[in-house]
């Protein structure tokens, strides 16, 4: 059965999108492998913009290179998210059972969640663009997390031990204090029970507040 390491190897191609200019080819590659014309068209768009940025740099259009790079990174990061087909199907070895398949899917979800949490810590602006922690936004890569500083009250109510009243209170308080920095900060601001604070450590993330 595939392990977390196997999953990372199959998805490692996405890291090439972090290479300026050259990384713009990654969405095109993903589209060709998955048979998704939309990804291929986006890849071509980012590549053309990068080339134009290089050719027209003397006309102060070098910003096209940065825009194409960011576009390639965001597109590549979204490929394989919830609702998107995987480029490599789960292994079908002899004796592979539905339980093995469920475990394989769970490993992928846990691995994605940890990567999303790390991305939220190290690159919060990129995490915002990807929609990490936003199950209330169609097409967002929530990764099974909830962004306490930006998600709707309905999304917050999906968190463990958070009912509708507490979710509404969180929304009202974060608007007054301009967001929370951590689960400890949230617990102190709302005087939450320690059990609730501990339950939120896993699924909650705290990205910078976005103006509504």
* Residue 195 CB neighbours (<10 A): 10
Please say whether the beta carbons of 54 and 65 come within 8 A: yes
Tokens of 151: 């998600």
pLDDT above 80 (res 62): no
Q: What is the pLDDT confidence band of residue 45, given thresholds at 50, 70 and 90?
A: confident
pLDDT band at 148 (very low <50, low <70, confident <90, very high): very high
pTM of the model: 0.55
Q: What is the mean pLDDT of residues 57-64?
A: 60
Handedness of CA 142, 146, 151, 153 (dihedral sign): positive
Query: Rounded to the nearest 5 degrees, what angle is found at the Cα of 170, between the Cα atoms of 169 and 173?
Result: 85
Q: How far apart are CA 15 and CA 13, in angstroms?
A: 5
Q: What is the mean pLDDT of the chain?
A: 76
Element (H, E) at 146: strand 146-147
């Amino acid at each position: 059965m595939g392990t977390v390491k196997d999953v990372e190897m199959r998805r490692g191609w996405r890291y090439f999108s972090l290479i300026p200019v050259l990384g713009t080819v990654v969405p095109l590659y993903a589209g060709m492998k998955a048979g998704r014309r939309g990804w291929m068209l986006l890849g071509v768009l980012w590549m053309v913009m990068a080339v134009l940025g290089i050719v027209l740099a003397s006309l102060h259009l070098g910003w096209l290179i940065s825009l194409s790079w960011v576009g390639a990174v965001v597109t590549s990061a979204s490929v394989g998210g919830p609702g998107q087909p995987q480029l490599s199907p789960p292994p079908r070895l002899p004796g592979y059972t539905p339980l093995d398949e469920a475990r394989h899917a769970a490993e992928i979800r846990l691995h994605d969640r940890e990567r999303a949490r790390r991305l939220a810590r190290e690159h919060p602006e990129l995490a915002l663009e990807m929609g990490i922690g936003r199950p209330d936004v169609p097409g967002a890569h929530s990764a099974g997390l909830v962004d306490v500083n930006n998600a709707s009250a309905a999304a917050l109510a999906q968190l463990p031990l958070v009912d509708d009243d507490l979710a509404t209170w969180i929304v009202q308080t974060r608007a007054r204090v301009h967001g929370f920095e951590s689960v400890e900060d949230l617990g102190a601001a709302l005087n939450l029970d320690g059990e609730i604070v501990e339950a939120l450590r896993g699924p909650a993330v705290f990205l910078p507040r976005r103006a509504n």
